[in-house]
Chains A and B, each alone.
Chain A
Amino acid sequence: MTEDFLVMLAKVITGAHGRWVGCSPDTKQRIYFANHTSNLDALVLWAVLPPEIRQSTRTVAARDYWTAGTLRRYLAEKVFQAILIERTRPTAHDNPIEQILNAMGESCSIIIFPEGGRNPGLDPMPFKSGLYHLAQKRPDMELVPVLIDNLNRVLPKGEILPVPLLGSVTFGPPIHLLNGESKTAFLDRARQALVKIRDL
């Protein structure tokens, strides 16, 4: 109920629809990694997924942000089934990668924002290493780059009231970690895969 309402609201406000240009919608386990420019990103990406995929897709989100306030906590836990991770000080016994892998199990897909924070600029910032570690641990999974466009104009950083411009969410061709590829090379390639969606 809440889910249907939120999906509808997100689509009406942002006019966003998913454009699958590099791959087709599929329920197999995937890691969707996207650029992060607005607080609406997670909601809209999740909303444009077809319902059966949405059911089994969880968003990796910052615990400090999503547990501040009752509404955010409710949305994160009950609606998005977010995987809340510590971004301020990860410790050995609170390893976000292990936590994400456990939460995914054998059936869930995830959405992550590898820039680690919202970026007001046009091109994504360098990626944090989490994507690399996930790719290493689960080489069987497709890594799907997702370019979110225009949502920073709908709700820029620091604003509360959204303006109803049209956003778009484009799914690019999946990538995999290559044999013997270094962390830096992989993260750079992943970032390029995201940027290149603009030209598709």
Chain B
Amino acid sequence: MNTKFDNETLWLVGGVMALLAIATVLGQLLRMHMGGEQSSKTVENLNARIKAWWLMVAIFGFAMITGGIGSVVLFGITSFLGLREFITLTPTKPGDHRTLFWVFFVITPLQYWLVAVDWYGLFAIMIPVYAFLFVPLRSVMSGDCDRFLQRTSTIQWALMVCVYCVSHAPAIFLLKIPGYEGQSGKLLFYFVLVVQLSDVLQYVWGKTLGHHKIAPHVSPSKTWEGFLGGITTATLIGAGLWWATPFTPLQSAGMSLTITLMGFAGGLVMSAIKRDRGVKDYGTIIEGHGGVMDRIDSICFAAPVFFHLTRYYFT
């Protein structure tokens, strides 16, 4: 799980910091030039988001420096916090209390431990098979059958989306790509960068040019203009970052396109759950962004697909 901190990594990190620096300056300029009530609210939110980005980049950068293990711990904590927001919105009953204790304090850490010790076989099936069997068993022992199927399936769903799917991001360190040994940190950085850039660019295109709503009942802020503009630009940037990956420019474009499309799908599905539960955000932990799940919804869907595509074609 060792990583080299090479020139390419420096370029990636430096590029992101330069981008954030430009965004910070632009955000402050906008704040000074905008007087109107409506626009100033958007600008305030934009600046809060940029500020939170600095913090997230700092945390992620720290995880990168400490190599694979730092990333495993970081994504483990992220899963834990996301799971917490998700279960909070899910109507479980006192009969599920002991099950939830296992879910938070045994199953979640175990999944990340499997990444840390490089045990791919169990990593891939622990939650889909063994947690799937364990969760209803532990709940049935409480003797409460009311809405049993609904309760157990939402807990399993939460585990799959918040823990299993997210754990595929640090699992990128498990991939042994010929000619790319010890450089997986860059691939993880590339993946997170493309997912998050796609989110940001969809937001920017949507705010500036967006008119035609893409899914008005699910997510009123998503527009066709934002979708097409965001996906295209993020894919082009992703293709341009091929030098940091084991891919050719064309392969990198294909990977980025897949990542951004899956990310969009994740955002859409997680929005539907929020609408269903009658909330706007999953939480309040990150100013301007909402909760952890609001920030990583796209990672949930993109990580497993990116992981398996890379594993199938490049290892």
Contact = CB atoms under 8 A, between A and B. Distances in A.
Interface of A: 15, 17, 120, 150, 152-153, 156-157, 159, 161, 163-166
Given A159-B94, A161-B101, 6 more contacts: A153-B92, A156-B94, A159-B97, A159-B98, A163-B100, A164-B80
Nearest to A152: B94
A166 B85 contact: yes
30 contacts: A15-B84, A15-B283, A15-B285, A17-B284, A120-B94, A150-B88, A153-B88, A153-B92, A153-B94, A153-B97, A156-B94, A156-B97, A157-B94, A159-B97, A159-B98, A161-B101, A163-B87, A163-B97, A163-B100, A164-B80, A164-B84, A164-B104, A165-B84, A165-B87, A165-B88, A165-B100, A166-B84, A166-B85, A166-B88, A166-B283
Contacts of B94: 120, 152-153, 156-157, 159
Interface residues of B, number: 15
A7 to B, nearest CB: 18
Contacts of A150: 88
B104 A163 contact: yes
A157 B87 CA distance: 19
Contacts of A165: 84, 87-88, 100
Contacts of B285: 15
Interface string B257-286: 000000000000000000000000001110
Contacts of A166: 84-85, 88, 283
Contacts of A156: 94, 97
Interface in B71-109: 80, 84-85, 87-88, 92, 94, 97-98, 100-101, 104
Nearest to A17: B284
Contacts of B98: 159
Nearest to B87: A165
Contact of A163 (B85, B101, B283, B284): B101
Contacts of B85: 166
B185 to A, nearest CB: 30
List the 8 shortest-distance A-B pairs measured between CB atoms, nearest first. A166-B88, A156-B94, A163-B100, A165-B88, A164-B84, A163-B101, A161-B101, A156-B97
Centre residue among B85, B88, B94, B101 by max chain A CB count within 10 A: B88
B235 to A, nearest CB: 36
Nearest to B283: A166
Nearest to B94: A156
Contacts of A163: 87, 97, 100-101, 104
Centre residue among B92, B97, B98, B285 by max chain A CB count within 10 A: B97
A165 B98 CA distance: 13
Contacts of B92: 153
A96 to B, nearest CB: 31
B220 to A, nearest CB: 23
A152 B94 CA distance: 8
A137 B100 CA distance: 46
